[in-house]
Amino acid sequence: MFVQQLINGLTVGGVYALIALGYTMVYGILELINFAHGEIYMLGAYLGIIFLGFFTAIGLTSYSLPLALILTFVLSIIFCSSYGFTIEKIAYKPLRNAPRLSPLISAIGVSIFLQNYVMLTQGATDKVFPHLFEEAGFEASSIRVTYIQLFIIAISAFLMLFLHLFITKTRMGKAMRAVAQDKVMASLVGINIDTVISVTFAIGSGLAAVAGLMVAIYYGLVNYSIGYIAGIKAFTAAVLGGIGSIPGAMFGGIFLGLVESLSAAYISSEYKDAYAFIILIIILLIKPSGLFGKSHDEKV
Amino acid sequence: MTGHRTQNTDKKSPGSGFRALSSISRPVIIALWLALLFLPFKGIKAASILFAVLSTFIFLLRFLLDYIKPLKEKLHDARAHLTKRLRITSFQTEGASLIIRYLLLLFIISVPFFARDYFIDIAILAGIYIILAQGLNVVVGFAGLLNLGFVAFYAIGAYAYALLNTKLGLGFWTSLPLSVGLVTLSGFILAVPALRLRGDYLAIVTLGFGEIVRLVLNNWDSVTKGPNGIGGIEPPYLFGISLNGLSHYYYFILVFVALSVFIVRRVYVSRIGRAWVAIREDEIASSSIGINTTAYKLYAFAFGAFWAGVAGVLFAAKMRFVSPESFTFMESVLILCMVILGGLGSIPGVILGAIILVMLPEMLREIQLYRMLALGSGLVLLMIFRPQGLFRSSPLTRAVLRGGKGVSFRS
C-alpha cells in the first residue's frame, strides 16, 4: 500500500515538477506569477488529442505507434513553446516596466481567454484521450507499476536532467542565470534580455506541454479546466522549493505529489486538493523563502 | 508611468525607410504567426480566414495609429489649454456636477418605479458587488496588499448567515453582527500569519485560503450539505415586514451600499487611510516614519473582510440559497477586475467598475459564449492601455504625492 502510493505520488510529482519549472524560471527572471502557465499545460494535453486524432485519421498510428507518439510530442512542444513565446510578447512585454500588479492581472486575463477559447472550440465536456496502450505493467505482491507510470517518471527525470545541464553548461543557460540575478547588469555585458526571456518562456511552455500530454495519457481524460488547478498546485510546488530555484521546483513538485497521494490514501481523499495549500501555508510560515530559496532583505 | 510609456514608443518607432517596408510585411508576418497558432484548434480553413482578417486588421490599426498620433498630440494640447481656462471658472463646473449628482441620486432612488423586475434584480446584484469591491479596494487599492482569495470572506459571511438562520433559527438582525464578526475574525486569523509574507507570496497564500474555504464548504457535508448548498434562508425583516419584494430589497441594499461608501470614505481620509496609502507607496519609508506597518496591514485585511462579510450576508438573504459554486476563484478574479477596471484606490471608480462588470454580461447575453473571451482579452488590453483604470486614484492620493512620482503598486 505504502510503496504503491509512493509510486503514484512520484508519477504525479514528476508532472507537477515539470510545470513548476516553468513557473520558477519565469519568476526567477521576471518576478511574475505566470498565471497562464497552467493553461499551456492544458493546451498541451488538448494538442495531444488533436494531433493523435489527426495521425489516426491519416493512418500513421496503425502504421507505427511510436512514430505517431513522438511526432505528437514534438508538435505539441513546438506549438506550446510558440504559445508561451507569443503570450509573453503580447501580454507581458508591454508591461515590463509597469507596476507589479499589471502583468499579474494581464496573466489572469490570458488564462481566462485560453480556458474559454478551448471550451468554445473543443466543448465543455471531458475529452477522452485515445486509448493506446494496454494497462500493462509489473506486478509484485499487490504493488502495481504500469508502464505509463514508468514512462512518466523516466521522461520527467530525463527532462529535469536536460534542463539542469542546459542551465549550468550552455551559453544560453549562463545568460539566463545572469538575467535572473540582475537584468541591468546582464544587459550591460551584452546579453539580449528579450531573447533570454523569450527562450525562458519557450522552454517553460515546452515542459508544460510534455506534462500535459503525459497526464492526458495517464488519466485518459482531458478537460478545459484542468489547467487552473494543476497550475496552482505547480506554483505551490515552486514556492515550496523556493521560487526562482530550479532544483527547488523539482524537489517541490515531487514532494507535493508524494504528500498528496499519501495523504489522500491515509487521511482523506476528499480534501486532496486542499493539502497542497495547507502545506504551502505551513512552509511559508516556517521558512517564507521556501526550502531552497535564498532569503534576501528588501533593498531601499 | 507616462514617462515609461513615451520612452517605449520612441524606442519602437523605426527609421522612416525601414518603416515603409515593415508597415506591409510586419502585419502579414504577425497575422501569419497568430493564424498558425490557432491552426490545430480551428483547422486550415478557419485559420486562413483568420489570417486574412488579422492581417488587414493589424495593417489598418498601424495605419490608424500613425495617422492618429499627431492628431492626439494636438488634442492633448487643446485639452490642457481648456482645463487651464476652466480652472478660472471652476465654480460653474462645480455647479454642473452638483446638478448631475442630484439627477443621478434621483435616478437611483426612482429605479424601482419604472424598471422591470429583471433590471431591479441585476441592480441588487450590482449593489452587493459594490460592497464587495469596496472591501477589496481597501485591501488592494489602499493598502496595496494583493488578496486573491477575497471570495473566501464573502463565502464565510454567506454561509454563516445561512447556517445561523436555518440551523439556529436566528433572524437577520441577530445574524448580521454575528456573521460579520466571524468574517472579520477570520480576516484577522488569516492576516496574522499571511502578512509576514511579501507581495506575490501573500497573493498565493490568500488564493490558497480561498481554495481551502471552498473545498471545506464543498466537502463538509454534515454541516454545509456539500455541493447541494443550503436553501430556505429567510429574507430580512424590517419593522415586522418581510423584505422579500424586489423593490423593498433594492432600497435595503441601497442603504448598505451608501453606508459602505460613506464609512470606507471616512476611514480612507482618516489617519488610518493615510497610513495605508503610505504603506502602499513605500513600506520601508513608512515604517521609518513611525507607522506600525503590520498593525495597519492587519486593519486593512480585517476591514476589507468586514465588507465581504456584509456582502455575503446580503447575498445569502437575497438568494435565500447558498452553494459553493458561487464562491470560486473566478469570483475573486471578477471582484479584483471591478477594482482594477474602476481604478485602484478610487471609490467612485470601484463603484462604476462593479456596475459595469455586473451589467455588461447581462447586456451581452446574445453573445454569452464569447463574453468570457472578451473579459480575458479585455483585461490584457486594459492593463496595456489604461492600467490605472477608468478613474485615476482619488484626490487624497494625489495630494499626498504631489510633486512625487506617479502612483505605483509595489508590494
- C-alpha–C-alpha distance, residues B282 and B279, integer Å: 5
What ipTM describes this predicted complex?
0.84
A108 touches chain B (CB under 8 A): yes
Q: Are B235 and B249 in contact (CB under 8 A)?
A: yes
Whether B410 is in a domain gets the answer: no
Residue A110 pLDDT: 92
CB–CB contact B379 A106 (8 Å): yes
**Nearest-by-CA chain A residue for B287:** A300
- B112: cell is 424601482
Chosen for mutation from A31, A116, A260 (greatest number of chain B CBs closer than 10 Å) is A116
CATH number, domain at B346? 1.10.3470
pLDDT above 90 covers what percent of chain A?
24
A277 touches chain B (CB under 8 A): yes
A195 touches chain B (CB under 8 A): no
A245-266 average pLDDT score: 87
Residue B153 pLDDT: 94
Residues B149 and B79 in one domain: no
What is the least distance, in Å, from the CA of A235 to any CA of chain B? 9
Report the interhelical angle of B90-114 vs B117-136 (nearest 10°).
130
What is the least distance, in Å, from the CA of A249 to any CA of chain B? 15
Higher pLDDT, A295 or B332: B332
Residues B74 and B173 in one domain: no
Residues B80 and B133 in one domain: no
Residues B166 and B55 in one domain: no
Higher pLDDT, B16 or A243: A243
B33 CB neighbours in chain A (<8 A) are 82, 86
User: Which pTM value belongs to this model?
Assistant: 0.82
A114 touches chain B (CB under 8 A): yes
pLDDT above 90 covers what percent of chain B?
16
A121 touches chain B (CB under 8 A): yes
**Nearest-by-CA chain B residue for A115:** B373
Given a cut of 80, is residue B74 above it in pLDDT? no
Whether B71 is in a domain gets the answer: yes
- C-alpha–C-alpha distance, residues B130 and B134, integer Å: 6
Whether B106 is in a domain gets the answer: no
A106 touches chain B (CB under 8 A): yes
- C-alpha–C-alpha distance, residues B208 and B210, integer Å: 5
CB–CB contact A270 B204 (8 Å): no
**Nearest-by-CA chain A residue for B4:** A97
Residues B163 and B50 in one domain: no
CB–CB contact A100 B410 (8 Å): yes
Residues B149 and B54 in one domain: no
Query: Taking CB atoms and an 8 Å cut-off, how many pairs form between chains A and B?
Result: 155
Task: State the pLDDT confidence band at B281, using cuts at 50, 70 and 90.
Answer: confident
Given a cut of 50, is residue B14 above it in pLDDT? no
Q: Are B195 and B144 in contact (CB under 8 A)?
A: no
Residues B70 and B176 in one domain: no
Highest mean pLDDT among A253-257, B3-7, B361-365: A253-257
A298 CB neighbours in chain B (<8 A) are 198, 283-284
* The total number of structural domains that make up chain B: 2
Average pLDDT value over all residues in chain B: 79
CB–CB contact B329 A228 (8 Å): yes
A124 touches chain B (CB under 8 A): no
Chosen for mutation from B39, B61, B204 (greatest number of chain A CBs closer than 10 Å) is B204
Whether B97 is in a domain gets the answer: no
What is the least distance, in Å, from the CA of B45 to any CA of chain A? 14
Q: Are B145 and B297 in contact (CB under 8 A)?
A: yes
Chosen for mutation from A27, A112, A267 (greatest number of chain B CBs closer than 10 Å) is A112
Whether B407 is in a domain gets the answer: no
Whether B408 is in a domain gets the answer: no
Residues B126 and B79 in one domain: no
- C-alpha–C-alpha distance, residues B251 and B131, integer Å: 14
B221-247 average pLDDT score: 77
Instruction: Point out which residues pair with B238 in neighbouring strands.
Output: B241
Q: Chain A window 53-82: which residues touch B at a Cβ cutoff of 8 Å?
A: 79, 82
Instruction: Point out which residues pair with A144 in neighbouring strands.
Output: A139
A270 touches chain B (CB under 8 A): yes
Residues B203 and B68 in one domain: no
Residue B410 pLDDT: 40
Higher pLDDT, B385 or B130: B130
pLDDT, one tens digit per residue, over A141-174 is 777 778 888 888 899 999 999 998 998 899 999 9
Residues B73 and B167 in one domain: no
Given a cut of 90, is residue B108 above it in pLDDT? no
- C-alpha–C-alpha distance, residues A262 and A256, integer Å: 10
- C-alpha–C-alpha distance, residues A214 and A158, integer Å: 14
B196 CB neighbours in chain A (<8 A) are 285, 288
Whether B234 is in a domain gets the answer: yes
* Domain housing B160: 120-400
Instruction: Give the end of a domain, one of B36, B64, B84.
Output: B84
B410 CB neighbours in chain A (<8 A) are 99-100
In sequence order, what are the residues at sequence separation of 6 or more whose Cβ sits closer than 8 angstroms to the Cβ of residue A98?
A: B1, B4, B383, B387
Residue B92 pLDDT: 54
Whether B110 is in a domain gets the answer: no
Instruction: Give the end of a domain, one of B84, B110, B143.
Output: B84
Residues B62 and B145 in one domain: no
- C-alpha–C-alpha distance, residues A298 and B1, integer Å: 23
Residues B159 and B23 in one domain: no
A232 touches chain B (CB under 8 A): yes
Q: Which secondary structure element, helix H or strand E, spans residue A227, and what is its range?
A: helix A226-241
CB–CB contact A31 B377 (8 Å): no
Strands A127-128 and A221-222: antiparallel
Closest residue to A95, CB basis, from B199, B216, B384: B384
Instruction: Give the end of a domain, one of B33, B64, B84.
Output: B84
Quickly tell me which residue has 513557473 as its cell: A23
B42 CB neighbours in chain A (<8 A) are 121
